[in-house]
């Protein structure tokens, strides 16, 4: 339950997972059925705040960055790990298009602007 919850991008604190398991696994067999899991995750999805999700995504992009901004190197790393096949020119263009303050990096505010434009 904990691994699946985290894999879906949700916080999975031990106390929360134990509470869910106690609620949906009364015989305490350390199992939860598909329908119950679906209900729990669906509820979490409905309660998601898009801004929080975008901030979480930004942190994934900047996890290996000292500046807390998305650089070409960050994009190259993500590109390699996801095997997206983007060229360096395409990634440079992405940064240039959304770099409002022209510092060659994407900060959190610029990232949120990008995401909010694509969301709505």
Instruction: Give the CATH number, domain containing residue 80.
Output: 1.10.238.10
Count of domains for the chain: 2
Per-residue tokens: 117: 């434009």
Q: Is residue 106 classed exposed, middle or buried when 0-12, 13-18 and 19+ CB atoms within 10 A define those classes?
A: buried
Q: DSSP labels for 45-70?
A: HHT--HHHHHHHHHHHHTTT-SSSSB
Say if residue 39 is in the same domain as residue 64: no
Please name the residue that has the structure tokens 């994407």. 106
pLDDT tens figures, 58-86: 988 888 777 889 999 999 999 999 999 99
pLDDT for 119 beyond 70: no
Q: How far apart are CA 91 and CA 103, in angstroms?
A: 15
Rg over CA atoms, the chain: 19
Burial letters for 55-70: b for 16+ Cβ neighbours within 10 Å, e otherwise?
A: eeebeebbeeeeeebb
Domain that holds residue 72: 50-119
Residue 108 has pLDDT above 90, yes or no: yes
Q: Are residue 41 and residue 65 in the same domain, yes or no?
A: no
Do residues 13 and 59 both lie within one domain?
no
- 38 and 68 share one domain: no
Whole-model pTM?
A: 0.62
Across 20-24, 26-30, 114-118, least confident range: 26-30
């Amino acid at each position: 339950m904990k691994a699946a919850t985290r894999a879906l991008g949700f916080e999975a604190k031990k106390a929360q997972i134990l509470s869910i398991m106690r609620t949906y696994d009364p015989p305490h067999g350390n199992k939860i059925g598909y329908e119950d899991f679906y209900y729990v995750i669906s509820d979490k999805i409905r309660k998601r705040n898009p801004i929080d999700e975008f901030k979480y995504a930004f942190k994934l992009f900047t996890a290996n960055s000292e500046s807390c901004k998305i650089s070409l190197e960050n994009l190259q790393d993500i590109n390699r790990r996801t095997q997206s096949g983007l060229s360096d020119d395409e990634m440079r263009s992405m940064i240039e298009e959304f770099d409002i303050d022209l510092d060659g990096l994407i900060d959190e505010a610029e990232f949120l602007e990008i995401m909010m434009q694509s969301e709505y």
